[in-house]
Structure 1
Amino acid sequence: MTETEKSDRRPARVSRQGFLRLSGPASVGWLLSACRKASTRQPSPIPQTSEASPVRPSPEAGGNGSLGTVFLSDQRLRTLRQRIADRVEPTFSAFWKIRQVAASRTNYQPHVPETWYVPGYYRDAQGHTTSKRGLQEDANLAYTFALHYRMTDEVRSAEAAARLIDAWAGLQNLRTEDDSKLSFSYHFPALILAADLIVGFDGWPAERQEAFRTFVRKKALPMNTMDRANNWGNWGLVLVLASAAWLGDATWFGRGVDRWEAFIEHQIAEDGHLAHEVHRNNGVGERGIWYTHFSLMPQTIAAEIARVNGVDLYDYVAPNGRTLRLAYERVVPWARDPSTFPYFQGEDKSELKGTDYVSYFEILNPRWPNEDAMAMLAQRRPLMANHCTPHLTFTHGDLLHDDGTT
């Protein structure tokens, strides 16, 4: 059996590219015009969830309700399997990290709280970290197990992923104050990515998939922070687009695309810096690079979800000329040499924190090659991340196109 045949063993997703089989930005006018006001590019109101919104049918139902995959296309998954077989780097070494985790934690049990609540980090750092740890670990492990399953067909990994997904689908109580919505926005999407990878697994039957789908629509989606102007908004956007792709909801998807464009226009300054982030914290700027990463990382993940579903936002130019590339090329040299960061007002630039949280460079650098970014990636691979997409070296390292071509 060939690697391609193995990858295709799961039942085909309903309408693999769905009703968003689009070739580029020029093709998406019909969707965007239906989902936003053409008269303004200011951030649009956040829609309320509704039972009347289109819901993706289960794989058994057939039809055209699916937006496609969420984050990784079947073509990319086939490419990754072949790169593993051919021992192509950085894919091969990154996969062995995934394999080690999957093999050692197959019996891992979920940690779902009775009530989801996360205190504000700058008020209660320890409580914040402790409260969100269960979702962070469960979601990232579910995604790890699901990736391992799709690369190896090992049923134990699919079962482990499904166990974690099902457990969180049973969460009853979610509070919204302090950092509860933000932490949910940046950790929960990994469970959606995992679900997308095991949707054809026989051991995850339709009724359990539907329970998770219901949870995403009724409880998870309202937790998004997409209406916020800073990095909170970017992470909320990831939750919205991941949920919309999973649910097959064109209304939410279109609002997410609209919001993505608004962030490009309103978050990025003329020289590429992010005005909301560079002076963090307390106006001193010791976390200015970190928070710039913490805004651009979700903006990049959101762009990738959109691309996989037929809407290419990477080359989008806002009315004021701002682009994602402009912000990326501004932060890269700061990340490699923090001493060049001009917004730090302290006395010792060694106090700058989180400067190397750069796993999202794996998505952007193949598109816009940058010597500083390449040097950082080469030194740190395989890169890991705590938020939403922990394995970007494996899934995107040196891969511009899903079929492996450059």
Structure 2
Amino acid sequence: MPRTRRAAFLAAPALLVTLLASLIGGPATERAEAAPAAFVHPGVLVSRGQLDFTRDKVNAAAQPWKGAFDQMMASKYASLSRVPRPRAVVECGSYSNPNYGCTDEREDAIAAYTLSLAWYITQDSLYARKAIEIMDAWSGVIKDHTNSNAPLQTGWAGSSWPRAAEIIRYTYTGWPADRVERFKTMLRTVYLPEVANGSHSNGNWELSMTEAAIGIAVFLEDRAAYDRAVTTFRGRVPAYIYLTGDGSLPKTAPGSGLDTRDEIIRYWQGQSTFVNGLSQETCRDLAHTGYGVSAIAHIAETSRIQGQDLYPEVAERLRHALGLHAKYELGETPPSWLCGGTLRDHLGPVTEVGFNALHDRMGYPMTNTQALTERGRPAGTNNLFVAWETLTHAANPR
């Protein structure tokens, strides 16, 4: 991205946040209008209370948390011999072809998060120091992302980095202040301008980018960036998951330029019959649908930790999306009107966060999602930006 574009993005005014809130749909709720006056740390996807709950369960050898912990610790991401592989410029084409640092960056970011969880649960400082080593390696080198997948790549890696940084910065005393500042500079100058610009590609792009933006905003304590991310979220979610109350056609994201029925149906992968919970990418494949649904839950989870809960605004859409796709993942044959009767790929390990929030905390009945979630435990990682969510979020009341 040209440096002039990096410097040009502006925070959305609070008025736009209020106006765009009306696009979410579903039951009327009290809406969060602005970033919190004081940010909660650690507070990106997992809170200190959630981490304490997880550690207590693992130490008591309770399931499924102990099994999930053992799975994480046996993964390559928890290795204390890992050697980070930073690059000044990460170049990612479509489907990461070419792949110049794309896998290295994503996996090093997941490793930093994995090691931060390992630190908190075991209290072994070796894991904290290894997480710091990886974060310092990248913050001292990376300058840019290029090629067609740059926004998505930045969103994926940018979702994992602040999760790791939040845990280490606020629960471990050994990260030197100058390196913390350098890491902040990396997020502020390399990642945030890219993800804050949004995307009119398939919806999983903008949702993943928005997840990165809100996590980075929390770590930087940047209220304007947080507000901008919430505005994007409120515009994108109803354009990604359909509810019958939307009318005969799905909503469109602000600025999408989709003005006709044919354009909307084309954007929805040729699907012309719409039902509760259908995703804009259902008929593309379930893997990309899983990316989008997961990012929605992650963003809402971070907002809840920060004290301005977005779950009530998206609960109907998210629970229907999880339930609809879980039904077919569990083996039900899709009808001929749905994607021509064929659904491709699988959602991946993406249901724990949303299921815990909607079913366990908010009390929604979610039979299909519960069955799929429990069948998939312990949920591992998709090697992109989802990792270890049975460990951190299974039945976590905090």
TM-score range, shorter chain: 0.7 to 0.9
Task: Name the amino acid aligned to 1:374.
Answer: Q
Residue among 125, 130, 145 paired with 2:115: 145
Q: How far 1:397 sits from its partner (Å)? A: 1.2
Please tell me the root mean square deviation across aligned C-alpha atoms, in Å. 3.1
1:24 equivalent in structure 2: none
Q: How far 1:297 sits from its partner (Å)? A: 1.1
Q: How far 1:239 sits from its partner (Å)? A: 0.9
1:94 equivalent in structure 2: 68
Residue among 287, 292, 302 paired with 2:289: 292
1:255 equivalent in structure 2: 228
1:162 equivalent in structure 2: 132
Q: How does 1:6-405 map to 2 (within 5 A)?
A: 34=14, 36=16, 38-41=18-21, 66-68=39-41, 69-101=43-75, 105-121=79-95, 126-128=97-99, 131-199=101-169, 200-224=171-195, 227-229=198-200, 230-271=203-244, 276=267, 279=270, 287-316=284-313, 323-337=317-331, 339-340=333-334, 342-345=337-340, 349=342, 352-357=343-348, 359-366=349-356, 367-368=358-359, 369-384=365-380, 385-399=382-396, 401-402=397-398
Change (3 A) 1:133 1:317: closer
Identity of aligned residues (%): 22
Structure 1 residues 163-222: Cα deviation after superposition (integer angstroms, max 9, x where no partner):
111111123431343001211201232121111111142321111111101111111101
Asked if the contact 1:277/1:291 (under 8 Å) is kept, the reply is: no
Q: How far 1:161 sits from its partner (Å)? A: 0.3
Distance across 2 between alignment mates of 1:216 and 1:97: 30
Q: How far 1:35 sits from its partner (Å)? A: 6.2
**Mean CA deviation greater in 263-272 or 303-312:** 263-272
Asked if the contact 1:225/1:235 (under 8 Å) is kept, the reply is: no
Asked if the contact 1:81/1:151 (under 8 Å) is kept, the reply is: yes
Structure 1 residues 244-267: Cα deviation after superposition (integer angstroms, max 9, x where no partner):
110111111122222222223333
- Structure having the larger proportion of residues in helix: 2
Q: How far 1:291 sits from its partner (Å)? A: 2.5
Instruction: Report how many residues are paired.
Output: 338
Change (3 A) 1:317 1:106: closer
Q: How far 1:285 sits from its partner (Å)? A: 7.0
Distance across 2 between alignment mates of 1:194 and 1:284: 29
Change (3 A) 1:197 1:36: same
Asked if the contact 1:181/1:225 (under 8 Å) is kept, the reply is: no
State the TM-score, normalized to the length of structure 1: 0.74
Unaligned runs of 5+ in 1: 1-31, 44-55, 57-63
Distance across 2 between alignment mates of 1:89 and 1:338: 29
Task: Name the amino acid aligned to 1:343.
Answer: L
Unaligned runs of 5+ in 2: 1-11, 24-35, 252-264, 272-279, 360-364
Distance across 2 between alignment mates of 1:244 and 1:231: 20
Distance across 1 between alignment mates of 2:283 and 2:311: 29
**Mean CA deviation greater in 77-86 or 150-159:** 77-86
Q: Equivalent residue of 1:116, what SS?
A: strand
Change (3 A) 1:65 1:37: closer
Asked if the contact 1:284/1:345 (under 8 Å) is kept, the reply is: no
Q: How far 1:82 sits from its partner (Å)? A: 1.0
1:23 equivalent in structure 2: none
Q: Equivalent residue of 2:75, what SS?
A: helix
Asked if the contact 1:116/1:174 (under 8 Å) is kept, the reply is: yes
Task: Name the amino acid aligned to 2:318.
Answer: L
